[in-house]
Amino acid sequence: MRILITAGPTREYLDDVRYLSNASSGRMGYAIVEAVQAAGHQAVLVTGPVGLTPPHGCEVHHVETTEELNTACGNLFPGCDGVIATAAVCDYRPRERFPGKLAKTGVSLELELVETADVLAGLGQQKGNRWIVGFALESDEFAHVNALRKLKNKNCDAIVLNRPTAIGSQSNQIEIIDPAGQSVAVYAGEKTSVARDLMQWITEHLLK
């Protein structure tokens, strides 16, 4: 089986030097690549900029911006059997990218942001007979509701709910939610261990 995995952050540039991004380390996604390969499948990794070396033997595609991620996934997904989307995608980008480096002028700079492409929703639209497992990073009391809404809106087969404490950490705690809104599994520990548990759940419930 050929499985697409997205990992790491995206960057949205204000000028040629500065960008909007987040602190995603990519560790969860890279651990999932290792778990996918250990389970005997082919891993196709689309990764944002991280300080990690891609696991040996996987197919790697490097991207920076959300649009690059969207294009790469759109091109690769038709040749895959499923996707595990862990990438921490920027939801907004500056409307205008300025050439060079913006210099201080002594006055405030107003920055207009526009929404980026919804990568996971785009994959959901071309899903066909493939399966999709998305990740939802939620922080408030409505985390479960928000994650379920994401699952339905983006046509996922399962959504993995985790918290902001996972960002940059070696460990993680995840909750798997199915399309009925049920919490069907909870795993915690080192990200490598959680990745193996998640892959085992996918094997038992989605790879039929």
The C-alpha angle 134, 137, 140, rounded to 5 degrees, equals 135
pLDDT in tens, 90-133: 999 999 999 999 998 899 989 999 999 999 999 999 999 999 99
Based on the structure, what is the number of domains in the chain? 1
Would you state the structure tokens that stand for residue 23, as one six-digit string? 């602190």
**Adjacent-strand bridge partners of 137:** 162
Q: What is the pLDDT of residue 208?
A: 72
Q: Is residue 175 part of a domain?
A: yes
State the chain's mean pLDDT as an integer: 96
Residue 139 — pLDDT band, cuts 50, 70, 90?
Answer: confident
Q: pTM for the full model? A: 0.95
pLDDT at 141 over 90: no
Residues carrying an active site annotation: 22
Q: How far is CA 118 from the centre of its chain?
A: 11
pLDDT in tens, 57-82: 999 999 999 999 999 999 999 999 99
What is the CATH classification number for the domain harbouring 49? 3.40.50.10300
Q: Is residue 106 part of a domain?
A: no
Q: Is residue 163 part of a domain?
A: yes
